[in-house]
């Protein structure tokens, strides 16, 4: 069993710290798709990769890709990665940690004769900040990025303009695809939530990336005088919406794993002495099993319909997004559990409530994620943290995973 050098944890933390300096906004960590400081991030990691004997290229959408070639002819490729872009005023670890972990694992295993090549992926875009679409980077690997080239940002610049402006060639999109035999994709990522902290575990194996619906519910009644209209003659749109909101919270609390959120609510005309004639609210509902989510959504829409009818309020739904859940690969999950188990580390399984590049890569190859505890559950925030001991544990599990994978490939 190979153990990572104890100093490697500090290397990982230092790399995250250094990369945080490359921001497009002074005094904060902000790196949107193909912003100029992306070049410095690439240069920093390319330098590390070359010291590890890896060859590095930047593909047509700006993904940084460093390969450690196996000495075995026609060996399959294991991809390890995450994203290099950030939300505005981000923390130091969301995305970056997963890329840095890839290089750190190669640093540990570079001298070994592996039966597979390793490609470390630093995706150029995952957060969807600049163009409002996510996963431009990973979608290029699975061949679904072309339709994104015409998407425009607020200034009217398209993804294609950004690509060309950065000096890349959109004609080379085909070469960005993951070609050859892929063994799978492994992503390390901070949890960005409170579950592992609550369980007292440093690491967690992701079972699935949740499926979700996002929609707006619109209730239309009749605005009228708050003093002169008796309760039995009202058509209060907000009262119907309020009943729906309470039902959403109740149902989610009563359904294991379900999360339902009403994050926006609007009442019109919006005066203290006027009965709301119109009300709208958002619904964001997520679960790791699509059937559970679909049944819950159906129930909630029935509640909304019922509460609207009871007040002679009309009701309609405006859907914005429906995404199916993406289960992680069973064999890769088992290897992660086995690795953590052998090392005596707790390895609970948990669902990812947020989207990740792994859900895109899973369309084409076995994909798995290992979550690293988020102290204080803080993420998308400059105070985002990781514990050094959890990074050490992730490195150890990662190395063991790679060793075990080598055994399965060699067998």
**Would you tell me which residues interact with Zn ion (CB under 5 A)?**
94-95
Burial of 159 (0-12, 13-18, 19+ CB in 10 A): buried
Give the whole-angstrom CA distance, residue 309 versus residue 397. Answer: 56
In the complex, the smallest distance separating the C-beta of residue 189 from Zn ion, rounded to whole angstroms, is 6
- Asked if 140 and 168 touch (Cβ cutoff 8 Å), the reply is no
Runs of H (alpha helix) within 166-311: 195-199, 237-254, 290-309
**Cβ nearer to Zn ion, comparing 95 with 115:** 95
User: CB-wise, 302 or 383, nearer to Zn ion?
Assistant: 383
The two tokens of residue 377 are: 């559950």
Q: Which is nearer to Zn ion, 62 or 95 (CB)?
A: 95
Question: Taking the complex as a whole, how short is the minimal distance between the CB of residue 241 and Zn ion, in angstroms?
Answer: 33
- Determine the Cα–Cα distance for residues 219 and 238; give it in Å rounded to an integer: 7
Nearest to 6 by CA among 336, 374, 399, 337: 399
Q: What is d(CA 184, CA 366) in angstroms, rounded to the nearest whole number? A: 5
Of residues 17 and 291, the one with the C-beta less far from Zn ion: 17
Q: State the pairing for strand pair 203-209/259-261.
A: unpaired
Q: Which is nearer to Zn ion, 70 or 374 (CB)?
A: 374
Cα separation, 115 vs 53, in Å, equals 17
Q: Could you give the CA distance from residue 208 to residue 331 in angstroms, rounded to a whole number?
A: 13
For the bound state, the minimum distance from the C-beta of residue 139 to Zn ion, rounded and expressed in Å, comes to: 15
Shortest reach from residue 123's CB to Zn ion, in Å: 9
Q: How far is the CB of 372 from Zn ion (least distance, A)?
A: 12
Which residues lie below 8 Å from residue 27, measured CB to CB, with a gap of 6+? none
Write down the least CB distance from residue 83 to Zn ion, Å. 6
Cβ closest to Zn ion, residue 94 vs residue 191: 94
Residue nearer to Zn ion on the CB measure, 9 or 352: 352
Q: How far is the CB of 385 from Zn ion (least distance, A)?
A: 15
């Amino acid at each position: 069993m190979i153990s990572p050098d104890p100093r490697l944890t500090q290397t990982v933390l230092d790399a995250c710290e250094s990369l945080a300096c490359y921001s497009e906004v002074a005094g904060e960590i902000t790196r949107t798709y193909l912003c100029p400081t992306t070049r410095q991030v690439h240069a920093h990691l390319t330098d590390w990769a070359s010291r590890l004997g890896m060859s590095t290229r930047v593909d047509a959408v700006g993904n940084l890709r460093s390969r450690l070639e196996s000495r075995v002819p026609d060996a399959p490729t294991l991809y390890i990665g995450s994203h290099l872009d950030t939300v505005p005023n981000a923390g130091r670890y969301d995305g970056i940690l997963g890329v840095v972990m890839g290089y750190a694992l190669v640093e540990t295993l570079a001298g070994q004769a592996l039966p597979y090549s390793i490609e470390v992926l630093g995706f150029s875009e995952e957060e969807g900040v600049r163009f409002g679409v996510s996963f431009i980077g990973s979608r290029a690997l699975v061949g679904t990025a072309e339709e994104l080239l015409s998407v425009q940002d607020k200034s009217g610049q398209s993804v294609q303009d950004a690509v060309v402006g950065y000096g890349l060639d959109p004609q080379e999109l085909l070469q960005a695809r993951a070609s050859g035999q892929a063994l799978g994709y492994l992503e390390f990522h901070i949890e960005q939530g409170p579950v592992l902290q609550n369980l007292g575990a440093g690491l967690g194996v992701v079972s699935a990336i949740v499926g979700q619906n996002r929609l707006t519910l619109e209730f239309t009644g009749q605005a009228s005088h708050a003093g002169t209209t008796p309760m039995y003659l009202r058509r209060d749109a907000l009262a119907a919406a309020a009943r729906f909101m309470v039902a959403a919270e109740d149902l989610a609390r009563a359904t294991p794993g379900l999360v339902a959120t009403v994050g926006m609510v609007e009442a019109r005309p919006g005066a203290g002495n006027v009965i709301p004639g119109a009300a709208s609210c958002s619904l964001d509902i997520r679960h790791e099993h699509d059937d559970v989510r679909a049944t819950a959504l159906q129930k909630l829409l029935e509640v909304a319909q019922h509460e609207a009818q009871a007040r002679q309020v009309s009701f309609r739904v405006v859907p914005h997004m429906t995404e199916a859940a993406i289960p992680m690969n069973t064999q890769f999950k088992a290897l992660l559990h086995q690795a953590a188990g052998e090392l005596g580390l707790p390895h609970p399984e948990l669902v990812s409530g947020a989207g990740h590049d792994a859900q895109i890569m899973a369309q084409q190859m076995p994909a798995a994620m290992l979550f690293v505890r988020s102290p204080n559950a803080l993420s998308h925030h400059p105070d985002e943290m990781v514990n050094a001991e959890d990074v050490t544990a992730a490195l150890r599990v990662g190395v063991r995973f790679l060793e075990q994978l080598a055994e399965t490939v060699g067998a």
